[in-house]
Structures are given as structure tokens and as C-alpha cells.
Amino acid sequence: MLPFGARLREQRLVIRFALASLVAFVALGIALSAIIARQFRLRGEAQAKAHATFVTDSILRHELERADLRGPIDPSSKRFRQLSAFVRSRILEGAGASEFKVVRIKIWGKTGTVLFSDARALVGMNFGLEDDIREAFEGIPQAGVSNLTAAENVDERGLADKLFETYVPLRLDGKTGPADAVVELYQDYAGIQREITDGFRTVATALLIGLAVLYVLLLPIVFRTSRTLSEQNVRLGQQAHRLEELLQKEQQRVAELRELNRLKSNFVAVASHELRTPLTSIIGYAKTLRQPQFADDGASRREFLEAIERQGDRLFQLVENLLMTSHLEDSVLKLSISSFSFPELVRDVVEGLGSSRDQVKLALAPDLPSLLTDRQYVAQIAQNLLNNALKFSGPGAECEFGARWFPGSLVFWIADHGIGIPSEEVGRVFERFYQVDSSSTRRYGGIGLGLSLVQNLVDALGGTVEVESQLAAGSTFTVTLPLVHPSVAERYGAGTRGGGASDPGSNGHRAPAAAVESGVPAAAQTA
């Protein structure tokens, strides 16, 4: 089925063709009719001329004698009456088809004198040698429609509306050569016209019927052809549209690859710098420690060792994030599901911050339920968010680590009062390698992987992460996690998931543990 637009175009095309071809057919019909009419007229007049020649050669010649042509035959003579009677009975009223009927006859002498005519008043008159008569004397018959204006035609004007005149050379011996006289015969053109009209009508009717049939046969062919063309047009249009879409996708992909390439190059520079900074510190502190003056300085040694530990932790975190990102790229992220207490995990993570631990204020709801999910991943999410909160706040600034639970889920947040994120950038901070300030002069370290890793880990745990931020006021990252990892919930039924089963007010906080007790290994490996 063609679309509406294509159908309309097709109908317009057919109507246009129908009209144009109708005009062409009518023009062709008129042109052909004119040609045919002319041919029939020539044919009719040629037949009339042939009839006049026949009358002269086969009828009149045998009746005439050489003496008759010496001068005008006296109309009161016996010979004239004899000839007149013959002409009337054999030519004017007798012989020949009615359509070529001879209505007048004149015999011209060489000087232009009428020697004989059925109109006796003309006999003996001299009208001079007209061109037609002269040429007929030279042996060439002349014929044409008479306009009856010549003086010699005064008498013919009442015979018919239109006459056809033929000048036939008369040779009494029937041989070729100069004529002895010229016989002029007038035929009523109405008869010739009838002959012309009859023939023309038959052929013209056949022609018109033929053209009409051709026209009618042509229309369905055009209709089908235009339909096929329209369908092909629609198909071509669809293909062009598909190609355009593919091209756009391709261009988008190329742009994405270019951006990725740029980010990766940027990343290499940033990562090298980020790795070198803690390493330089560690090496510096280690060299200092080896100097003899610090051998017995317990306080300084402790301070340097703590600094080495801090920088080591920073390096560890960096390498951990890199490794995890590369695991994610290879799609080998594995889950290790176990039941654990969230407050304990929070304490471990905060302890791991070393000297910054005091900047973190806890706001954990009492009776937080146990979680049955991947503990290490949850810890990594919290670590990354905490590190950012501390990093993007002023030195010594506090941040809040809070948590509360809902039926089936645990929500925790890390809020700081740091530099905040511009509103137009908030949507991009979870992209890999993305940093609000990625310039070489930026104030804060980092390689732009922390939040993308957080997003991936939260996804792997079946949760969500959101950020609310205000420039120069601070940011709050909120993570929502199911109490029971979806893969376990699926395997052991909805009873372990959400609702009353995980409601700590009833036995909800024991539900994950119950699931473990009822057969889930303490560390279930899920690809």
C-alpha cells in the first residue's frame, strides 16, 4: 500500500498524462485528417481528369472529323446539330459515372476560337490562347477547379456552384505529338466532392476509432507504470532515509570515538602525574628516614611513616580504581555476595581514611538492617564518594556520612560543603575520565575514574546513585541499594526482598542472614 502522498502524486501524474496524451492524440487526429483529406481531394480530382481524358479519347475523338476542326462549326448547320445530339446523348447525359458527370464541353481551335460547344452561343467566339489551352495544345492535359471569372465562363456560371475543368489535347489519329484541338470539359464539382467526402469519411472514422482504442489501451499501462514508479520512489526514499540514519549514527560514533581518544590521551597524562605525586612523597620520606639524625627521633619517624602510609593508601586507591575500571572494560566484574552489617562497613571505611577520619561525621539510623550483597563493592563506592567529599572541600572541612533504611532498601549519602559542581556539569560527572576541571593547572588531584566506577558498581549491585550540588555550597551523593542483591532475591524468591520480609521491625534485618542460613553460601560468586 502506497503512502497517501505517493498516491496523490501518482494520481496527478496519471491525470497529467491523460490530458497531455489526449491533446497529442487530438492534434495527431487533426493533422492526419488534413493529410487524408488532401490525398482524397487529389485522388478525386485525378479521377475526374482521367474521366475527362477518357471521354475525349474514347468517345468524342471517334465522332470528330478533321473537317470539323478547320473552323467554328456553324450552329445552324446539320453537322452542328448532329454533333450536338451525339454530345448530349453520349457525353452530357449518357456515359460515365454520375459523380464525374460532364456538364459542358468546348472544343478550342489553335487560335483560341471555340470550334464547337454544346452552348451554341459560344461557338465562333475567340477568347485568346490562355496558358491552360496553350499547354494542352503542347500535349499536356491541364485540370483544376474553375473560378468561373474568365469571360469564356459567362455561360457556365449557372451550371453549378463549382466546376472542375479539364483541357485535354485532342489528336484525331490517336498518336502522340501536337494536338489538333483542345477539348475543354466541365464537371460538376459536387459529384467529385461527394466521392472525396465518402472516401475521407470511411478512412477518417477508422483512424479516429484506432486512435481512441490506442488511447484507451494506453491509459491502464500508464497507470500501472506510474504505480510501479511511485512504489520504487517510496522504496528509494525509505532506503535513502535509512542510509541517512546510518550515516548520522556513524558520524556520531566517530565523534564519540574521537572524544574517547582525546579523553584517553588526557587520562595518560593525568594518571602518570597522579601516580608520580604520592610516589615522589614516599621516596622523599623514605630517604629522609634513612638519614642518621632521624634514627633516634621517634616522633619524626612516626610522622614520616604515617605520611608514607597515607601516600601508600592514596596510591593503593588509585591502582584499585584503575584495576576495577579495566575489569569493567573486560566485563569480568565478579560479585562476592555475603551478609554484613552496614555500620561496621562504614566504620572500616572511615578508619581507612587515616588522619582525615575525624572530618567525617556519621548520621547512621539506629537498627540498620544487614545487607546481603557484595561488601567490597559497597566499601569501594563509599570510599570513592568520601575521598571526593574530602578532596573537594577545604582542608579540615567536615562532611557527613549518613544512612537510613526503607523496606527492601538502604539509602546512604555523603554530603560535603565543598566547591560544588556547576549545574550544567552535574549530568556528566559519572562519565568515565570526566573532570569538571581537567586543566593541567587544576587544584585537585584525581584521574576522573572514581564516579564512573561508583556508577558501575551501583549498577552491578542493582541500586542507583544521584547527586545534588550547588556551586560553592557543596554536594550530596545519595546511593540506594537493595538489601538483598537481586541475583539472590531472584534465586530464593521475593520473600527475601523488600516489604515485610526485610522489615527490621519484624524479622527483616535477619532476612538476608536467613537466606544465607537456608543455603546461600556466605560468599556466592556471581558473574
322 binds ligand ADP (CB under 6 A): no
458 binds ligand ADP (CB under 6 A): no
419 binds ligand ADP (CB under 6 A): yes
512 binds ligand ADP (CB under 6 A): no
Phi then psi for residue 498, to 5 deg, are 55, -170
Q: Which is nearer to ligand ADP, 187 or 452 (CB)?
A: 452
Q: What is d(CA 386, CA 467) in angstroms, rounded to the nearest whole number?
A: 13
Nearest to 351 by CA among 377, 378, 394, 382: 382
CB of 434 to ligand ADP, least distance (A): 6
For 45, the grid coordinates are 480530382
Confirm if 433 and 266 have CB atoms less than 8 A apart: yes
Looking at 117, 153, 187, 435, which residue binds ligand ADP (CB under 6 A)? 435
> Considering only 62-70, 221-229, 338-346, 450-458, which stretch makes contact with ligand ADP by CB under 6 A?
450-458
Confirm if 479 and 401 have CB atoms less than 8 A apart: no
> Considering only 155-163, 170-178, 239-247, 444-452, which stretch makes contact with ligand ADP by CB under 6 A?
444-452
What residue spans of 291-353 are helical by DSSP H?
Answer: 298-329, 342-351
Structural element, H or E, at residue 371? strand 370-374
User: How far from each other are the two terminal CA atoms of the chain, in whole angstroms?
Assistant: 49
Q: How far is CA 518 from the centre of its chain?
A: 63
> Considering only 6-14, 19-27, 75-83, 415-423, which stretch makes contact with ligand ADP by CB under 6 A?
415-423
CB of 265 to ligand ADP, least distance (A): 16
What is the pattern of x (binds ligand ADP, CB under 6 A) and - over residues 465-504?
Answer: ----------x-----------------------------
- Cα-trace Rg, the chain: 61
Q: Which is nearer to ligand ADP, 143 or 390 (CB)?
A: 390
CB of 371 to ligand ADP, least distance (A): 23
> Considering only 154-162, 204-212, 337-345, 442-450, which stretch makes contact with ligand ADP by CB under 6 A?
442-450
Q: Which residue is nearest to ligand ADP (CB)?
A: 446
- The DSSP letter of residue 357 is G
> Considering only 33-41, 69-77, 158-166, 441-449, which stretch makes contact with ligand ADP by CB under 6 A?
441-449
Looking at 102, 136, 386, 449, which residue binds ligand ADP (CB under 6 A)? 449
Q: Which is nearer to ligand ADP, 170 or 415 (CB)?
A: 415
Helix/strand/coil for 174: coil
CB of 364 to ligand ADP, least distance (A): 20
Nearest to 487 by CA among 514, 460, 510, 465: 460
For 478, the grid coordinates are 545519595
Q: What is d(CA 219, CA 205) in angstroms, rounded to the nearest whole number?
A: 21
418 binds ligand ADP (CB under 6 A): yes
Q: Which is nearer to ligand ADP, 196 or 318 (CB)?
A: 318
Q: What is d(CA 294, CA 285) in angstroms, rounded to the nearest whole number?
A: 11
Nearest to 384 by CA among 327, 305, 446: 446
Confirm if 412 and 402 have CB atoms less than 8 A apart: yes
Instruction: Give the pairing of strands 142-146 and 464-470.
Output: unpaired
87 binds ligand ADP (CB under 6 A): no
Q: Which is nearer to ligand ADP, 467 or 513 (CB)?
A: 467
Helix/strand/coil for 429: coil
389 binds ligand ADP (CB under 6 A): yes
For 191, the grid coordinates are 459529384
Q: Which is nearer to ligand ADP, 408 or 446 (CB)?
A: 446
Q: What is d(CA 209, CA 345) in angstroms, rounded to the nearest whole number?
A: 101
For 217, the grid coordinates are 489501451
Residues present in the chain in total: 527
Q: Which is nearer to ligand ADP, 306 or 437 (CB)?
A: 437
Confirm if 522 and 339 have CB atoms less than 8 A apart: yes
Q: Which is nearer to ligand ADP, 74 or 459 (CB)?
A: 459
Q: Which is nearer to ligand ADP, 59 or 436 (CB)?
A: 436
450 binds ligand ADP (CB under 6 A): yes
Looking at 304, 416, 465, 503, which residue binds ligand ADP (CB under 6 A)? 416
Confirm if 482 and 461 have CB atoms less than 8 A apart: yes
Tell me, by CB under 6 A, how many residues bind ligand ADP: 21
CB of 430 to ligand ADP, least distance (A): 7
Looking at 451, 457, 460, 511, which residue binds ligand ADP (CB under 6 A)? 451
388 binds ligand ADP (CB under 6 A): yes
Footprint of ligand ADP (CB under 6 A)? 388-389, 392, 416, 418-421, 429, 434-437, 446-452, 475
